[in-house]
Amino acid sequence: MERKDPLYLKPWLAEDVAQDLILLENQLPFFVLEGLYNLATSKYAGLPSFLEISFKYFEDLNPLKIEPEGVSVRHFTDLLRIYYSSPSQRLKKRSPIGTILEHLYKTESHLRNIVAFEQAHFSVETYISNYLKLNEFYGKPMNKWKAGFIHDYFNTSVKTATSINAIVLIVLTFVQTVCSIYPLVQGN
């Protein structure tokens, strides 16, 4: 950037521009931006592609450090979705998406845009939306308690058998106590 460039003189402005570029309502098709870039730079050889420039510009939002080779992008919100979606969907390799999403900054606005984009264009492959719903479900105290209970007492066959035996023993003890007290209560 030149020293006279407003983005260079006011760093906060660059952050605002980056935020505006990824808002779903501000999206232009990537091929249109790429075509304009190619028209403007056709006289110059050896320049990086528009996709490479886009990856460099949004590199702080790329927690997996995905490379631009072989990536097809519809627009900048789609690029963000590619950054945050599970690599297993692209590379057939497992990776914990939760770990990635927990490290995002400005998560709310990014995720709202990605969820809106997924709902409009990826009705079957809603990875980010599904993760957020699961996270919301797990955030409820009763669900946390159930998950912890199942994890602590039913995660192996031995623990399951032991837990079931303990529950049956407690129920039988309760029944025996009731049966012992019932005749006494009936007698009065």
DSSP SS3 for 68: coil
At 1, is the pLDDT very low, low, confident or very high (cuts 50, 70, 90)?
very low
At 188, is the pLDDT very low, low, confident or very high (cuts 50, 70, 90)?
low
Q: Where are the domains of the chain?
A: 6-138, 142-187
CA distance linking residue 50 with residue 57, whole number of Å: 10
Ranges 26-30, 116-120, 121-125, 134-138, most confident: 26-30
pLDDT digits (tens, 9 = 90+) for 134-176: 777 777 888 888 888 888 888 899 999 999 999 999 999 999 9
At residue 94, the pLDDT reads 38
- DSSP 8-state code for residue 48: P
At 91, is the pLDDT very low, low, confident or very high (cuts 50, 70, 90)?
very low
